[in-house]
Amino acid sequence: MAFLKSTFEKVGKKKAVINWSGGIDSTVGLYLLAKSIPIDNITVLHLPYEHSYEDEFLPIFDYLQINKAQLRILSIKPMVDQIKSDLKINDPFRLGNVIARVRMITAFDYAKKSNALVCGTENKTEHLLGYFTRFGDEASDIEPIQHVYKTHIFGLGEYLGIPNNILEAVPTAGLWGGQTDEGEFGFSYSEADEVLFRCIDTSKTVEEVEKEGFLNVKKIMDFVKKNSFKHKVPYSIK
């Protein structure tokens, strides 16, 4: 929270916009925001494409003591479907990228209107795996939980008293029906965190970590390698 407070002071901003999905990452991010700047200075956007989680997750606003008037619920389906039609998109992955980018276009427009910073909700696991849409869900002005592994986010959520329906929700970006993060990975967050910590934080080799009994070490590190280019764009002549 000290990081958030000092950043807002440093850049001379008083307001924030955050995309809230009802998941653990955006809820923890919202909690940290609500404890760092005046609650009235936060605009919370819920931007469903197909399914809104409003009824399931709105009790979190009572828990955080946030006025529901600060929540803006806007279906992005008309905007996304127009792009889908114009570009003749029939690939769910392309469509997912469009959904993620339209959400951030909306967030940054709200931020422009209110002279606010866009608060991101990316965790360390997603960041290292490159599990994000360039100029979509990884686009932000400030990232309060990007240094925290996903399994630690759950632990933090429990510590903060985040309601169980959010803690127990299956992680998903909500990009298409039945889509889940771990279903796309082919491995669990818990194993990914163990492997990423060993291979990246402590610089162990794949072979060394495999000897510890982890089954998907190469698969996880191949996932990292495949998406590593995302951390380097745009490529340019220096």
- Examine the domain organization and report whether 207 and 229 are in the same domain: yes
Domain end position, chosen among 135, 169, 203:
169
Examine residue 73 and state whether it is found in any structural domain, yes or no: yes
- Examine the domain organization and report whether 17 and 102 are in the same domain: yes
Q: What is the mean pLDDT of the chain?
A: 92
CA-nearest of 198, 189, 197 to 151 is 189
- The DSSP annotation for 113-147 comes to HHTEEEEP---HHHHHHT-S-TTTTT--SB-SSTT
- Examine the domain organization and report whether 106 and 216 are in the same domain: no
Instruction: Write out the residue range of the structural domain in which residue 137 sits.
Output: 2-169
- The model carries a pTM of 0.91
Examine residue 87 and state whether it is found in any structural domain, yes or no: yes
| Strand order from edge to edge, sheet including 71-73 | 71-73, 42-46, 15-19, 116-119
Could you tell me if 153 and 28 are in contact, meaning their C-beta atoms sit under 8 angstroms apart?
yes
- Examine the domain organization and report whether 165 and 185 are in the same domain: no
- CATH for 107: 3.40.50.620
Percent helix, strand and coil across the chain, each to the nearest 5: 55, 10, 40
- Determine the pLDDT at residue 123: 97
144 vs 50, 119, 199, CA distance in Å?
Answer: 28, 8, 24
List the pLDDT tens digit at each of the 238 positions of the chain.
789 999 999 999 999 999 998 889 999 999 999 999 999 999 999 999 987 766 666 777 777 777 777 889 999 999 999 999 999 999 999 999 999 999 999 999 999 999 999 999 999 999 999 999 999 999 999 999 999 999 999 999 999 988 888 888 888 766 666 778 888 898 999 999 999 999 999 999 999 999 999 999 999 999 999 999 999 999 999 7
Examine residue 174 and state whether it is found in any structural domain, yes or no: no
How many domains does the chain contain in total? Answer: 2
- Examine the domain organization and report whether 81 and 127 are in the same domain: yes
- Examine the domain organization and report whether 26 and 132 are in the same domain: yes
